[in-house]
Amino acid sequence: MSDLSPGQEVTVSPSGITAEVLYVRGETVRVRNVNSGKARTVAIKNVTPKRESKVLTVGPVPMNSIADMVAPMQRVYDSGIRPVPKPVTLRSEPYLAYVRKHPCCLCGASPSEAHHWSHHGGVMGSKVDDYRTVPLCTEHHRYWHDHGTLPGMEREHSEAALMREQAWLLRAWLDNNVAHYGDQVDALIRAIGGADA
C-alpha cells in the first residue's frame, strides 16, 4: 500500500481504531492511536486509509424543470489525491569517512573519494544517500561523471560493479557499527531498489 504517508489518518483492523501514520517500513506501518496516543507497529495489510472528503457546494440553480428542483444542492467530492511524502536523503559523515578509507574499487589507488551514485541516472548535485557511495580515485571518479560508465564497461556492467562494492561496504559497516542499524536498514532497502526504485 504505497499511498500511506506520515500524518495520514487510517483505520486499523480488526480493532477498528483510528490512528495516525508515523512511518512505513517494508510490510509494516508504525501508527499512533489518536485517542490514547500509544504507538504500535502493525502489518500494512491491516491498515486502511481514511478517505478525505471535501464538500462541494453548488450555488443557486435556475429552476427550469422538476428535475432541477429535486437536484441535490450539495455533492460530496473525493479527489483521491493524497500528499506525496517528501523523500528523505540519508546523511552520514562517519560513513563517508569510512568509504574514503578504502582504496579505489577499480584500480586500488589511494586516496579515494566517496562517489555518490544512483542506478536511476542521478547527476552530480542531486540528492543521493551517503550510504549509496563507493570509493573511487580522482581519475575514475571524473571518468564516471564525464562518461556515465566505468572505463571499459557498458552502463549495466558499471552499475552492477558499483552495486556489488556498495553492498559489500554496507555489510562491513553494519558489522562494525551496530549503533547505526536503523539508518543502515533504510540504506540497504534503498540499495536494493526499494525506496527510490
42 φ/ψ angles, rounded to the nearest 5 degrees: -130, 160
Residue 121 and residue 39 in one domain: no
pLDDT the model gives residue 174: 78
Residue 109 and residue 22 in one domain: no
pLDDT the model gives residue 143: 92
CATH number at residue 17: 2.30.30
Residue 31 and residue 103 in one domain: no
Residue 73, in any domain of the structure: no
**119 within 8 A of 156, measured Cβ to Cβ:** no
54 φ/ψ angles, rounded to the nearest 5 degrees: -120, 140
Residue 82, in any domain of the structure: no
Q: Which three cell numbers stand for residue 140?
A: 575514475
Domain that holds residue 163: 93-191
Residue 172, in any domain of the structure: yes
136 φ/ψ angles, rounded to the nearest 5 degrees: -130, 140
Residue 179 and residue 109 in one domain: yes
**For 8-109, where are the E strands, in sequence order?**
9-12, 17-25, 28-33, 39-43, 47-49, 54-57, 74-77
Instruction: Provide the residue type at 75 as one letter.
Output: R
Residue 27, in any domain of the structure: yes
pLDDT tens-place values along the chain, 197 residues long? 457 888 888 899 888 889 988 888 888 888 899 888 888 889 888 998 887 655 555 555 455 555 555 555 444 455 566 676 666 677 888 889 999 999 999 899 988 999 988 766 554 555 788 888 999 999 999 998 888 889 999 988 988 899 899 888 888 887 776 655 555 566 666 655 554 44
Residue 66, in any domain of the structure: no
Q: If DSSP codes are grouped into helix, strand and coil, which group holds residue 95?
A: helix
Residue 187 and residue 97 in one domain: yes
Residue 101 and residue 153 in one domain: yes
Residue 105 and residue 186 in one domain: yes
Instruction: Provide the residue type at 105 as one letter.
Output: C
**53 within 8 A of 78, measured Cβ to Cβ:** yes
Residue 105 and residue 33 in one domain: no
Residue 149, in any domain of the structure: yes
Residue 21 and residue 102 in one domain: no
Residue 104 and residue 184 in one domain: yes
Residue 100 and residue 185 in one domain: yes
The count of domains in the chain is 2
